[in-house]
Structure 1
Amino acid sequence: MTETAGTSRARRGARRKGITIERIFTTEGVHPYDEVTWQKRDVVQQNWKTGETIFEQRGVEFPDFWSINASTIVTTKYFRGAVGTPARETGLKQLIDRVVLTYTAAGKEHGYFATDADAEIFEHELTYALLHQIFSFNSPVWFNVGTRSPQQVSACFILSVDDSMDSILNWYKEEGFIFKGGSGAGLNLSRIRSSKELLSSGGTASGPVSFMRGADASAGTIKSGGATRRAAKMVVLDVDHPDIEEFVDTKAREEDKIRALRDAGFDMDLGGSDIHSVQYQNANNSVRVSDDFMRAVEEGSEFGLTSREDGSVIDTVDAQRLFSKIAKAAWECADPGIQYDDTINDWHTNPESGRITASNPCSEYMSLDNSSCNLASLNLLKFLRDDDTFDAATFQKVAELVITAMDISICFADFPTDPIGETTRDYRQLGIGYANLGALLMATGHGYDSDGGRSLAASITSLLTGAAYKRSAELAGVVGPYAGYARNSDAHDRVMRKHQAANDQIRTMHTMDKDIHAHATKAWEAVVKTGEKNGFRNAQASVLAPTGTIGFMMDCDTTGVEPDFSLVKFKKLVGGGSMQIVNLTIPRALHRLGYAEETVEAIVEYIADKGHVIDAPGLKPEHYEVFDTAMGARAISPMGHVRMMAAVQPFLSGAISKTVNLPESATVEEIEDVYLQGWKLGLKALAVYRDNCKVGQPLSDGGSKGEEATTEAAPEKTVEYRPMRRRLPKRRTSQTTSFAVGGAEGYLTAGTYDDGELGEIFLKFGKQGSTLAGLMDAFSIAISIALQHGVPLDTYVEKFTNLRFEPAGMTDDPDVRMAQSIMDYVFRRLALDYLDFDTRSFMGIHTAEERARQLETGSYEASSSSDDSDDDYEGELESFSQSAATRAERAEAKQEEHADEVTSGAGAASARETSTDVHSSAELLEKFQGKTADAPMCMTCGTKMRPAGSCYVCEGCGSTSGCS
């Protein structure tokens, strides 16, 4: 029987008096809610394609400093109760109270606090930290704690399957329950006999890959049955399993099937009506490699594949050839990833209870079979003071507070299966982590791929885990160590000393990381000393999760351990819609680097225009690396990501959820090198993604997989589709607009179908020669024929707006005050006349009336909003150092002043916008969001998701592809 905290307390209560909770942020006698200004907001979500309202709750209450994005995501995702009923939560206070009061009551019940006063301080400090977005629990806590639902607090699960039909069918069942709750699970299939081995009946075994088909179909069915997130799962197979080559090829071969079906006319996009016919698409696959195998790869020697029954070698393979096969499959379809078995188990605190064989779907949680882990993440930017120093002491105190709360949750938590509940209560695995590392590094002038950046990240991670284990040892002295500690004490203490030794190896570079490292060193000294006396309350303490939805809840610029994704971000507005702004971290970083205010402004405007810092006015080239991002003109190299992971890995109980991005031009050999270096640098797991390698997704070119694949594969059948021309009626409605651009006068005639859709255009100029007239006639005919063949007008608007050549400058059209060329003006005018509001607003094209309305109310769209909308909008703008509208007006005025300096350059696709929504064009969207063509569409609101660790997250509504 497991010894409970209560019986342990009764037996040794004389020396267990509870934890004393220290005040960090709060003031005695003042509740945290009374220190902030609250405002009511309307949360309305619409499908951006159809305009259909998919969620509406009005009058929700949030602090004025919470962004619209954060309050929208929390309202739609975490508020409980049916909308429109009295049971529905109506504000952040109710949400936080539901969780915090449950934790506090459980802490008191189970003897965590020395006094009732300590319990109250705990309640207030936890409330303050959540209220001010200093940290967040993982999503299941917000979903379930304090409700009538099962009190599920864990987001990460590891299952187990043995070589029997009962166990395999039970695997399907357990995964189903976990998927139904919106969580994900992982497991290792290596115990299942291979297809090269015999059954006791004399027949041949099916092998693990065949059973993967059934599990994948089950996951896909449950996902399509209405889960809030896509089913997420990890399937692991050991490299010495006889079916390893079949496993490696599974998803790569399915990609070939997707290509063939797509070319035959089937809908094979993610979420498409026919994609369900493809197998293995609901799982991430990983190969568990051993040190012996990796050494065989380096030596070019043979490697044995072993029987599942007696361990005998039943086949041998060339290790280098198999390793290349793994890399080639990852090059083709991003699967499989790699997990380094010996490294994982060398840092295992509980080897006497069993090996670590698998991970959760995102590879950050690695522990015993049939176990779970609940997560929480700290917002690193909240600990950066105004003088750009990092508050290490407060960071440590918050980490200790949060790990205390996380451990309390296991006392009352429910679990999806009895074995998972038993293991989790016996080992009490926790996963404290952080978000906003990329933003912190940029704000403090550190390049992500730099020695200084890695030193700072390592010091912070070491302090985080040191603080967590320090508190874990203190808790063990109050409520007892975890039940499995006695059996594993030597191993656990050995791993603590390994963490401490790694901390001693950090090479600090600057005053900031030296101070953090000093705190970490003291924390690890306390860990070893207190742990030897009390033991530890938790088998595991830290991981680095993707922090998808909760990252938005905390208004983080970057997720997990990731760098900044791009230098320009979306910002939602109170009145609806959004605008793009240059990251507020950038001016802070420039000031930190010593640039004068006028230089900072010039650089920020340049970034708004170009999307990168290359050749930015006044910016020193040696500072470019500070502004490197995951995507774009100065994308961080693949090994830059690997080196950052290696810097923080020695200070984590678990691993890191992160995908190493490679350009489309990357080779199989480069992926081999990434996987090899990951092993040498001591990572526990590694996944890669080559841009556009997925063919079954939007905008994928479906090209060949390289010369080798082209020569080996059979020729693919190509089905050709021809567009049909929709001719205009003989008599049609048209309108003619006279215009003047930079002194050149002209006429635009637009003809429409009976339904009002644009079908033809004609361009004439007041003064023109025969050559120009002929070119304009030819251009008009080409555009008209294309429109009649179904080319959308918005495609031409995207291509021709911002095209820059003479004549350019002021126009006589109040809706388009400046034009960079006649083409720029013509297609802006056509957009205003023939595109719907949402489409052109998405491109940043608005009428004069709409721009005026936006400056007054914060919304381009006409609305009957409440009287406090103006106050809401003002409060929204005050959270920014510089509003987008103000920057845009300054940019426009500057262009008017220098209109005569506009130079030609028909390919200037990145030219600066001239309307007040200067940073909202579709062109900038494409440039600054990076190449996200391979990201899935959000199942909730229909917008494109973006990477977060090894998963995807929607910036519009906060939905994730299985991670939290």
Structure 2
Amino acid sequence: MTDTVSGSTGRAARGTSKAGSGLHVERVFTTEGVHPYDEVTWERRDVVQTNWKTGESVFEQNGVEFPDFWSVNASTIVTTKYFRGAVGTDQREQSLKQLLDRVVLTYVKAGKDNGYFATDADAEAFEHELTWMLLHQVFSFNSPVWFNVGTSSPQQVSACFILSVDDSMDSILNWYKEEGLIFKGGSGAGLNLSRIRSSKELLRSSGGTASGPVSFMRGADASAGTIKSGGATRRAAKMVVLDVDHPDIEEFVHTKQREEEKIRVLRDAGFDMDLGGHDITSVQYQNANNSVRVTDEFMRAVEEGTEFGLRARTTGEVIDTVDAKQLFADISHAAWACADPGMQYDGTINDWHTTPETGRITASNPCSEYMHLDNSSCNLASMNLLKFVSDDGSFEVEKFVKAVELVITAMDISICFADFPTEAIGETTRAYRQLGIGYANLGALLMASGIAYDSDGGRALAGAITSLMTGTSYRRSAELAGIVGAYDGFAQNAEPHTRVMRKHQAANDEIRTMHAIDIAVHREASKQWAQNLEIGTENGWRNAQASVLAPTGTIGFMMDCDTTGIEPDFSLVKFKKLVGGGSMQIVNRTVPAALKRLGYTEETSEAIVEYIAEHGHVIDAPGLKPEHYEVFDCAMGERAIKPMGHVRMMAAAQPFLSGAISKTVNLPEESTVDEIADVYLQGWQLGLKALAVYRDNCKVGQPLADARAKSKTAPAPEVQIVERPVRKRLPKSRPSRTTSFTVGGAEGYMTSGSYPDDGLGEVFLKLGKQGSTLAGVMDAFSIAISISLQYGVPLETFVAKFTNMKFEPAGLTDDPDVRMSQSIMDYIFRRLALDHLPFETRSAMGIHSAEERQRQLDTGSYEATDEAPEVESLSAPDVGAAPGSAKPDADVVAETARPAPRTAHTSAELLESITGSTVDAPLCFTCGTKMRPSGSCFVCEGCGSTSGCS
């Protein structure tokens, strides 16, 4: 607990401490005289990461020290990402204690130097409390803190930056430079290009026509693609915003859509156009998220179907008009086609702006959660909500309040010693002290509480927690203002800042609670907002901004969170990394907690968990009431949350945030342009500040297609049931086809032998060295498949079972018809389907050749108008097997009845059932694992890398 003690005037000078002033810190999590490290059991672990293609070790640090309750995944990510010093040297950090001390002691020293604490004892209590919370994964600072604080590097603590560019070549070139410096430091930046003259306006100096902002985007895109981010192999993170009334808005809207069409054509021509592929650099605008900044005036024109004026940048006069509804439809169609542009709602953003007298909010960071002044930055931290759930299922409100107080205090202290990439950003940040506290594990908290994510109860609890967090943050900010001063720009913005505080308080009064858990949270939130306004009216506020909801990708793994940011659970089953390597499937730990909360007996809960482990969903789970299904709805799978369920959850939290929310609304592939338009329209109507969408399979960079969804509509093949199937042997001489292939760097050969009437009868696979375990397993597999084919099992049955099976090696192939494969099995049976199944059968399964995919792009149909001639099979006398392979033998297997259909699920089939065969994410550039959505970004569960957000 922290209490404010101030001098007689209630205010001390900035950066100094008057006699008797400062924070008194009461211990909540720790005991005086006992260090937090002495309360836990520590153990030594070996952290090893291997190359996903070759199996070679790419990182190894043995004997690292972590608490025994930290998962292997969390300790691996912290060791590889955050430990400083060269591996193998004495300077390398090797214990979590060293990492926490490096950061926490830097914060404590800065707090003492700048007058935050009343006494040294209070500073020590602050140190222990902060250490305890980090040690026990109660919260985490954003990644730049762990990268930089306490090292010889610049002390950059911010992950989010907003830049500014004016209508001059000097400013445009400076934009390129500043972005490069930010990317080099491992962070991302956003900016609004609307000050730059359009291509429809004249240059003052020469009278020629201006280039327009879209042309300058090319240079910035190339720069970002070259520098990458932090010297790593992932792309830089950037946001480009253009106002809806800019004369070049139509060109901006279609920019990435046209490039995506180019990518598809090049891919079908055999080029490597996957995200991170060798040839993707030949297309433009791929390193930025694009957003249109729409006004209330424009959105009303959309509703009314009226004209909307586009204004010159230099004079402000209307130089062109557009049909607002048609432009909105174009925006929605582009987002349907390639996921860009997103929407930022200018009216809502600036109506909740605390410092409008200083300047408008024109842009955001790359993930759209930080929105404030140009040339500014924000440091982030996130609370782990599940850590505040008691054994009886209640939310520990008092502990949450005290934890938020401590975290906000630490975040504000960091600005005192932080370094910034440009002086302009440093000046603005020190003057306005923008903070971004947020949370993770909301989805897990709701499920564990027995509350559905897409429900009034779920939204009430989310709103109440967000309100409590921000209300407490601003109350602590007001108290800090009484000790070390309000932010420099407060006097100029006192009235609008106070107005926004009252808007937050009014929104809090509108929350309609439904359960005991959110009633208690809301009661405390109301108390915090009242105290905030009372203290703030006297002292002002220390911070112009307090809260955002960030993706919490890597730090979410550091805290062992099941869900990130405001997201629901991704799926009910996940993969847990094991000590010594490998992983195992486990049902999310929130499922048993939810079942207990809902009143199920231990025996029934065990049966339900076993069912989920096998099927990946709860439908028809034994003993589970259908009315409880919704509690277990996830982002993907059989009962995926509907798009508007995500939008309504965002709307529940938005009124209680200083900034916005990093989140992409995912839609199935069959979604229409009108559905996306409705999401964008309702986002504005519900009061969101920003919104982005992603339609499954709309980008080539997504490695998986929704083949499973298509296969559901495939006609079931006719199978003749006989008492005793007869094996139809191949003749001694039969036609065959030998295919060499490469999947994810692994090379192999496949020989498929056919009956004279062209039915597939045998398959031989050569993979690995002769005599190796892998070669032996593939020989045995070949025999099993071959004999099954000869007993009449249809090839399409194998194709349906083995395509989309996921394991390493996986990735790019050298086959133009199957450019990306999820495993050797996935490739083999896709190739066999292309070679041996009729078009109608494999098309129903979503399997097409490169030629057919190109035809669909050109004509809208995969099928040729004229019947294509059959491809003549290669033949050779008695080609039965690849070199070194075993041959099926009549004596090996006796004639037996057809086995019963298999009901058990492989790990690949289970993951397929969980995700609907669709994971809207690229492969991780670091370790090759498929990433998963996290806010507006993607995060790797294997190594913690993100696709662009720090």
When normalised by structure 2's length, the TM-score is: 0.81
Match of 2:907 in 1: 921
Deviations 1:390-431 (A, max 9, x none): 001110110010000000000000000000000000000000
Contact 2:162 2:377 in 1 (8 A): yes
Task: Give the alignment partner of residue 680 of structure 2, picking from 670, 675, 680.
Answer: 675
The alpha carbon displacement at 1:698 in A equals 2.1
The alpha carbon displacement at 1:341 in A equals 0.2
Task: Indicate the larger mover: 139-148 or 218-227.
Answer: 218-227
Measured at CA, do residues 764 and 73 of structure 1 come closer, stay the same or move farther in structure 2, by a change above 3 Å? closer
Distance 2:131 2:62 in 1: 24
Q: Does 1:533 align with 2:556?
A: no
Deviations 1:230-279 (A, max 9, x none): 20000000000000000000000000100111111111011111000110
Match of 1:950 in 2: 936
The alpha carbon displacement at 1:226 in A equals 3.4
Residue 238 of structure 2 aligns to a residue whose secondary structure is strand
Deviations 1:89-148 (A, max 9, x none): 010000000000000000000000011110000000000000000000000000000000
Contact 1:191 1:308 in 2 (8 A): yes
Distance 1:272 1:778 in 2: 32
Q: Does 1:912 align with 2:904?
A: yes
Residue 357 of structure 2 aligns to a residue whose secondary structure is helix
Contact 1:941 1:956 in 2 (8 A): yes
Contact 2:704 2:918 in 1 (8 A): no
Q: Does 1:113 align with 2:144?
A: no
Match of 2:499 in 1: 494
Distance 2:247 2:515 in 1: 51
Q: How many residue pairs align between the two structures?
A: 809
Residue 83 of structure 1 aligns to a residue whose secondary structure is coil
Distance 1:203 1:478 in 2: 57
% of aligned pairs identical?
Answer: 74
Q: Does 1:369 align with 2:369?
A: no
Task: Give the alignment partner of residue 664 of structure 1, picking from 661, 669, 691.
Answer: 669
Distance 1:14 1:762 in 2: 81
Residue 467 of structure 1 aligns to a residue whose secondary structure is helix
Task: Give the alignment partner of residue 616 of structure 1, picking from 596, 621, 625.
Answer: 621
Distance 1:597 1:349 in 2: 51
The runs of at least 4 aligned residues of structure 1 exceeding 6 Å deviation read 748-751, 759-762, 776-783, 786-792, 796-799, 902-905
Distance 1:782 1:298 in 2: 48
Contact 2:592 2:609 in 1 (8 A): yes
The alpha carbon displacement at 1:86 in A equals 0.4
Contact 2:14 2:484 in 1 (8 A): no
Match of 2:170 in 1: 166
Task: Give the alignment partner of residue 305 of structure 1, picking from 292, 302, 310.
Answer: 310
Deviations 1:639-680 (A, max 9, x none): 000000000000000000000011111100001110110101
Q: Does 1:425 align with 2:430?
A: yes
Measured at CA, do residues 322 and 288 of structure 1 come closer, stay the same or move farther in structure 2, by a change above 3 Å? same
Measured at CA, do residues 199 and 601 of structure 1 come closer, stay the same or move farther in structure 2, by a change above 3 Å? same
Match of 1:286 in 2: 291
Measured at CA, do residues 228 and 390 of structure 1 come closer, stay the same or move farther in structure 2, by a change above 3 Å? farther
Deviations 1:557-585 (A, max 9, x none): 00000000000011111121100100110
Distance 2:472 2:654 in 1: 16
Match of 2:833 in 1: none
RMSD: 3.2
Distance 2:649 2:117 in 1: 38
Distance 2:201 2:590 in 1: 58
Distance 1:409 1:12 in 2: 16
The alpha carbon displacement at 1:753 in A equals 8.5
Task: Give the alignment partner of residue 44 of structure 1, picking from 45, 48, 63.
Answer: 48
Distance 2:782 2:29 in 1: 67
Measured at CA, do residues 163 and 614 of structure 1 come closer, stay the same or move farther in structure 2, by a change above 3 Å? same
Contact 1:252 1:329 in 2 (8 A): yes
Measured at CA, do residues 205 and 29 of structure 1 come closer, stay the same or move farther in structure 2, by a change above 3 Å? same
Contact 1:435 1:556 in 2 (8 A): yes
Measured at CA, do residues 609 and 199 of structure 1 come closer, stay the same or move farther in structure 2, by a change above 3 Å? same
Deviations 1:347-378 (A, max 9, x none): 00000000000000000000000000000000
Instruction: Name the aligned partner's letter for residue 936 of structure 2.
Output: S
Q: Does 1:480 align with 2:485?
A: yes
Contact 2:274 2:702 in 1 (8 A): yes
Residue 538 of structure 2 aligns to a residue whose secondary structure is helix
After TM superposition, the structure 1 = structure 2 runs for residues 596-635 of structure 1, keeping only pairs within 5 Å, are 596-635=601-640
Distance 2:550 2:54 in 1: 34
Distance 1:272 1:597 in 2: 50
Residue 336 of structure 2 aligns to a residue whose secondary structure is helix
Residue 660 of structure 2 aligns to a residue whose secondary structure is coil
Match of 1:578 in 2: 583
Q: Does 1:775 align with 2:761?
A: no
Distance 2:559 2:207 in 1: 59
Instruction: Name the aligned partner's letter for residue 725 of structure 1.
Output: T
Distance 1:103 1:430 in 2: 15
Distance 2:798 2:425 in 1: 68
The alpha carbon displacement at 1:12 in A equals 8.5
Contact 2:911 2:917 in 1 (8 A): no
The alpha carbon displacement at 1:922 in A equals 2.0
Task: Indicate the larger mover: 475-484 or 574-583.
Answer: 574-583
Task: Give the alignment partner of residue 99 of structure 1, picking from 100, 103, 117.
Answer: 103
After TM superposition, the structure 1 = structure 2 runs for residues 706-721 of structure 1, keeping only pairs within 5 Å, are none
Instruction: Name the aligned partner's letter for residue 826 of structure 2.
Output: T
Instruction: Name the aligned partner's letter for residue 945 of structure 2.
Output: S
Task: Indicate the larger mover: 748-757 or 130-139.
Answer: 748-757
Residue 682 of structure 1 aligns to a residue whose secondary structure is coil
Distance 1:286 1:594 in 2: 46
Task: Give the alignment partner of residue 725 of structure 1, picking from 716, 738, 763.
Answer: 738
Q: Does 1:90 align with 2:116?
A: no
Distance 2:626 2:784 in 1: 47
Distance 2:552 2:375 in 1: 23
Contact 2:587 2:612 in 1 (8 A): yes
The alpha carbon displacement at 1:623 in A equals 0.6
Q: Does 1:254 align with 2:259?
A: yes
Q: Does 1:561 align with 2:556?
A: no
Measured at CA, do residues 12 and 670 of structure 1 come closer, stay the same or move farther in structure 2, by a change above 3 Å? same
Match of 1:153 in 2: 157
Task: Give the alignment partner of residue 926 of structure 2, picking from 932, 936, 940.
Answer: 940
Contact 1:24 1:125 in 2 (8 A): yes
Match of 1:794 in 2: 825
Measured at CA, do residues 329 and 754 of structure 1 come closer, stay the same or move farther in structure 2, by a change above 3 Å? closer
Deviations 1:675-697 (A, max 9, x none): 11010100000000001111244
Residue 352 of structure 1 aligns to a residue whose secondary structure is coil
Contact 2:186 2:229 in 1 (8 A): no
Residue 458 of structure 1 aligns to a residue whose secondary structure is helix
Distance 1:954 1:795 in 2: 22
Distance 2:613 2:798 in 1: 35
Match of 1:184 in 2: 188
The alpha carbon displacement at 1:725 in A equals 2.1
The alpha carbon displacement at 1:927 in A equals 2.9
Match of 2:646 in 1: 641
Instruction: Name the aligned partner's letter for residue 941 of structure 1.
Output: C
Distance 2:380 2:361 in 1: 19
Task: Give the alignment partner of residue 595 of structure 2, picking from 580, 590, 593.
Answer: 590
Contact 2:440 2:556 in 1 (8 A): yes
Task: Give the alignment partner of residue 123 of structure 1, picking from 123, 127, 133.
Answer: 127
Instruction: Name the aligned partner's letter for residue 112 of structure 1.
Output: Y
Instruction: Name the aligned partner's letter for residue 507 of structure 1.
Output: R
Match of 1:845 in 2: none
Distance 1:684 1:762 in 2: 56
Match of 2:700 in 1: 695
Contact 1:113 1:119 in 2 (8 A): yes
After TM superposition, the structure 1 = structure 2 runs for residues 729-878 of structure 1, keeping only pairs within 5 Å, are 755-756=769-770, 775=792, 794-795=825-826
Instruction: Name the aligned partner's letter for residue 226 of structure 1.
Output: G
Contact 2:256 2:340 in 1 (8 A): yes
Structure 1 unmatched runs, 5+: 1-6, 703-722, 735-747, 800-829, 836-901, 914-919
Q: Does 1:463 align with 2:449?
A: no
Match of 2:838 in 1: none
Q: Does 1:344 align with 2:349?
A: yes
Residue 24 of structure 2 aligns to a residue whose secondary structure is coil
